[in-house]
């Protein structure tokens, strides 16, 4: 990837801007990590260490916060993050077969949640707050209600096709 160096340089600049904006205040650590995660789509270890050092905190403290909150990910995520709701309303309306169909289609085995090409990540969540539309799936935050395994797999195929053609 020829522009990898440029990209990582830009991301590094973005992290510094985030730190500046929050004036490296320890009480704003969660907000800082949220914004850093938006830049990378996850929290790389070396970036967490950098954030800790430049805020004058111990890496253990920063890692502790990053692992405490469910919304933070220390693993790289795919370009498309698919969340299958497994809250009560969705579960009784058959969310499990949707999850199974997705994992099968994407070849996710042995507890993996992300495809090796970093295109798709599949996660489950407890209640997305749209129970009337159960079962609910979100793809990069866009809500797909009354989902079926067929409809969601078709959407994924569409996205995968778009990726291959781009």
Which stretches of the chain bind ligand FES, using CB under 6 A? 85, 87-90, 127-131, 134, 136
- Smallest gap from Cβ 102 to ligand FES, in A, equals 16
Q: What residues have CB less than 8 Å from 101, skipping those under 6 apart?
A: 149, 150, 152, 153
Nearer to ligand FES, 55 or 134 (CB): 134
Nearer to ligand FES, 131 or 160 (CB): 131
- Smallest gap from Cβ 26 to ligand FES, in A, equals 35
Rounded distance between C-alpha atoms, residue 152 and residue 144, angstroms: 8
Cβ-proximal residue to ligand FES, closest one: 87
- Smallest gap from Cβ 155 to ligand FES, in A, equals 18
Task: Give the pairing type, strands 142-144 and 120-125.
Answer: unpaired
SS3 helix, strand, coil % of the chain, rounded to 5?
55, 10, 35
């Amino acid at each position: 990837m020829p522009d990898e160096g440029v990209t990582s340089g830009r991301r590094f600049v973005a992290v510094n801007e985030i730190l500046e904006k929050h004036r490296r205040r320890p009480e704003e650590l969660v907000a800082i990590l949220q914004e850093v995660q938006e830049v990378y789509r996850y929290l790389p270890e070396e970036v967490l260490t950098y954030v800790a050092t430049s805020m004058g905190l111990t890496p253990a403290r920063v890692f502790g916060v990053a692992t405490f909150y469910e919304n933070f990910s220390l693993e790289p995520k795919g370009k498309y993050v698919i969340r299958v709701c497994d809250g009560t309303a969705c579960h009784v309306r058959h969310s499990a077969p949707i999850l199974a169909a997705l994992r099968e289609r994407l070849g996710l085995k042995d507890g993996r949640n992300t495809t090796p090409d970093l295109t798709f990540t599949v996660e489950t969540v407890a209640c997305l707050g749209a129970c009337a539309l159960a079962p609910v799936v979100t793809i990069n935050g866009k809500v797909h209600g009354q989902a079926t395994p067929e409809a969601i797999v078709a959407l994924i195929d569409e996205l995968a096709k778009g990726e291959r053609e781009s």
